[in-house]
Structure 1
Amino acid sequence: MRRWTRAKLVETTRLSQDTQRYTFGLSPPATKLGLETGQHIQIGFHFKDSLVFRPYTPVRPVLDKEEDGTFDLVVKTYFPDENQPGGTMSNILDCLQEGEEVEVKGPSGAIRYQGHGCFSVDDKTYTFDNVSLILGGSGVTPGYQIIARVLEDKTDKTKLRVIDANKSEDDILLKGELEQLSKEHGNQFEIVHVLSHPGDGWGGLKGHVNEDIIKKHAFEPSDRTVALLCGPPTMIQKAVLPVLQAWGYDEDKNLFGF
C-alpha cells in the first residue's frame, strides 16, 4: 500500500482506562497489510482541512497465517491536561466510532526480521543468536512483533531478553500477552518491567533504565548478539545508548533503533 488506502474501524476493545485495541478492516482491493516483522504503517485522519498521520506498529497480523484483511493496533490515549496538549492521533482514535474510516499507508521501517536470527537492516543482512530489546511505552509494539514471530516457530532458537520501561503498571502495553509468552517459553524469552512511578503493590524493578539494569538483564555484546531499541527519545539517547556503546555495542553492527 504505497498510496493511502481506507480502513474501517470494525471493533474497539478497551484494555485499560486509557488504552484500547482497535481492529480495522482494509477496503478492497487491499486484502492484506504485507508487513514484514518489525515494520510499521502510517495511520492518517482528515482533521480541520489537513491530514494528521502517525506511525503505528500493528500487533496483529504478526504471522502470515493471521492475514485476513484486518489488523489490530494497541494504542494508549494521551489525554490533554494542564501539563500537556494530549496526543492528536491517539485522541482521534479514542473518539472514532465503529464504521468510521482512517487512511492507511505502508509498510515502512528499516528493521525486518526474516526468522532464525536473521535481520535485514537498511538492506544489509545480519544474523544473531541473542536479541536484547530495550523498549519504552508504545515502543513495545515492534518488539512484540519480533518476540511473537520467534516464539511461534519451534525451529527458531533465537534467545530474547527484554527490558520494558513504563511509568506505571497500567501503562504496560500487551502485558498479558508478554507474560503468557514468558511462561510458555521461559528458557528462550525473559522480560523485566521497569516502572518510574510504581504503585505500592509493585514487586518489580523501580526507577529508570540505567547501567545496572541493562548489564543485568540484557545480553553481553558480541558478534552474535544484537540490541534493538524503541522508546521515548530522551530515554534512548540519554539513558540507553551511552551505556550500550560503552559496554561494547556498535551502531550499524549490532545496535539498531526502530
Structure 2
Amino acid sequence: MAALRTGFKVASLGAVGAGVAYTGYQYYTTTQFFFVRAHAELPSDSKAALKKMEWKGFTELKLQSSEQVNHNVKKLTFALPDDDSITGITPITSLLTQHTPDGGFIPVFRPYTPVSDNDIAGTVTFMIKKYPGGKGSGKMHSLVPGDTMKFKPLQEFEYKPNQFKSMLFVAGGSGITPIYQLTRAILKNPEDKTKISLVYANNTEEDILLRQEFEELERQYPDRFQKLFTVSKLNQANDGSIAQGYVTKQMINKIWAGKEAGQKVLVSGPPAMVEAIAGAKGGFGWTQGSVGGILKELGYTKEDVHKF
C-alpha cells in the first residue's frame, strides 16, 4: 500500500464526484471523502515560528528535486513559498495532495507524510512509493523539477511531548513515514523523555526505507531508541543485523519490555499486516475497531493502540 494513513480528524464533507479517493489504507468514493482541518501549530523554536506557513486551503508547491531511491520509491523535495518558510506542521501530520488527471474532471486526493523536519526552512521532502495503477503515486512519480502539486495539511495523530512513558511502533513498507516523522520529533526534543521501540517489516533489504536514518538515530540515542528490521527475503551477505519473516510476538518481545502503564502502540502498514498485528480497522476504515492479533495476545486494549 502507499505511504498513506487514516485516523485524521474530520472537518467538513467534500462531495467531489463519484470517483475514488484513497485515504489511509482504505478506498472510499469521493462522495464519502472528508476534508480534514489543517493542523499546523507553532513549533517550539520561536524564530522558526515567525516563518511558519499559513496553510489556507490547498497550497501549490513547486518540485525542486526528484531522486530515485530504489526500484519503486522516489524522494521528492518541494520548495516552500520562500526560503524562510517552514511547514510548521505537528506530528503526525500528512499533506494531502490534489490533482486532476489529464483528460479527467474528477480530482484525485492522496495524503503523504513528509520525512523532513517541520522546522526545515525552504523545502518539504517526501518518500513516495509507486504502485501499479496508483493515480496518486503515479502522478507524483511523473513530476519533474519545475512541476507543481497542491498540498493541504491533515493531522492524523495528536502527540504531546512526554504524553507517554514509552511507545512501540510496528510498521510495514511505506507505512514507515508517519512513524519516522514522530520518531524524529520525539528524539530531537531534549525535553521529551519518551522511549521508543520500532519493529519495521519489508519484503527485501532494498525495500527498507530510511534505513540509514534509523540506524543513525539508534547510535545517537541508544537509551531512548531501539529498532528491529525484518524482511521476508534476506540477502546472502546479511550480517545478522536483520531478522527474517513476518512480525511475530517473539520479535516484539525482543525489544519491548511488555505491557505496563504509560505506553502507546502505533501500527502503520498494509491492511493485512495491521490486521495480523492489531486487528482490522472498523467502519470501512473510518474507525479504529477492536484490538486483535498479536497485540491482543500480549494484553493490549483499544485504549493502548492506534492503527493507521
What TM-score do the two structures reach when normalised by structure 2? 0.71
Q: What RMSD over aligned residues (CA atoms) do the two structures have, in Å? A: 2.0
- The offset of 1:196, in angstroms, is 1.3
The answer to whether the Cα contact below 8 Å between 2:117 and 2:185 also exists between their aligned partners in 1 is: no
Give a deviation string over 1:88-115, Cα, whole Å, max 9, x none. 2222211111111111112331x12222
Residue aligned with 1:182, SS? helix
Q: In structure 2, which of residues 205, 209, 212 is the aligned counterpart of residue 173 of structure 1?
A: 209
Q: In structure 1, which of residues 134, 146, 152 is the aligned counterpart of residue 188 of structure 2?
A: 152
- The offset of 1:165, in angstroms, is 0.7
Give the Cα–Cα distance (whole angstroms) in 1 for the partners of residues 275 and 139 of structure 2. Answer: 29
Give the Cα–Cα distance (whole angstroms) in 2 for the partners of residues 51 and 69 of structure 1. Answer: 27
Residue aligned with 1:186, SS? coil
The answer to whether residue 101 in structure 2 is matched with residue 101 in structure 1 is: no
Give the Cα–Cα distance (whole angstroms) in 2 for the partners of residues 245 and 77 of structure 1. Answer: 33
Specify the alignment match of 1:234 in structure 2. Answer: 272
- The offset of 1:11, in angstroms, is 1.1
- The offset of 1:50, in angstroms, is 2.5
| Residues 69/46 of structure 1: CA separation in 2 closer, same or farther (3 Å cut) | farther
The answer to whether the Cα contact below 8 Å between 2:166 and 2:264 also exists between their aligned partners in 1 is: yes
- The offset of 1:73, in angstroms, is 0.5
The answer to whether the Cα contact below 8 Å between 1:223 and 1:254 also exists between their aligned partners in 2 is: no
- The offset of 1:217, in angstroms, is 2.6
Residue aligned with 2:226, SS? strand
Give the Cα–Cα distance (whole angstroms) in 1 for the partners of residues 140 and 165 of structure 2. Answer: 38
The answer to whether residue 220 in structure 2 is matched with residue 184 in structure 1 is: yes
- The offset of 1:206, in angstroms, is 0.6
Structure 2, gaps ≥5 residues long: 1-54, 280-292
Specify the alignment match of 1:195 in structure 2. Answer: 231
Specify the alignment match of 1:60 in structure 2. Answer: 116
The one-letter code sitting in structure 2 at the alignment partner of 1:60 is S
Within a 5 Å distance, the mapping from 1:73-222 to structure 2 comes to: 73-78=126-131, 80=132, 86-109=133-156, 111-115=157-161, 117-118=162-163, 128-202=164-238, 203=240, 204-222=242-260
Give the Cα–Cα distance (whole angstroms) in 1 for the partners of residues 62 and 199 of structure 2. Answer: 34
Give the Cα–Cα distance (whole angstroms) in 2 for the partners of residues 114 and 162 of structure 1. Answer: 19
Give a deviation string over 1:127-158, Cα, whole Å, max 9, x none. x1111000111111111111111211223221
The one-letter code sitting in structure 2 at the alignment partner of 1:87 is G
The one-letter code sitting in structure 1 at the alignment partner of 2:87 is L
Specify the alignment match of 2:306 in structure 1. Answer: 256
Specify the alignment match of 1:12 in structure 2. Answer: 66
| Residues 219/27 of structure 1: CA separation in 2 closer, same or farther (3 Å cut) | same
Residue aligned with 1:146, SS? helix
The answer to whether the Cα contact below 8 Å between 1:130 and 1:219 also exists between their aligned partners in 2 is: no
Give a deviation string over 1:192-237, Cα, whole Å, max 9, x none. 1110122222332111012222222334112211111111111011
Give the Cα–Cα distance (whole angstroms) in 1 for the partners of residues 94 and 257 of structure 2. Answer: 26
Give the Cα–Cα distance (whole angstroms) in 2 for the partners of residues 172 and 182 of structure 1. Answer: 16
Give the Cα–Cα distance (whole angstroms) in 1 for the partners of residues 180 and 275 of structure 2. Answer: 21
- The offset of 1:2, in angstroms, is 5.3
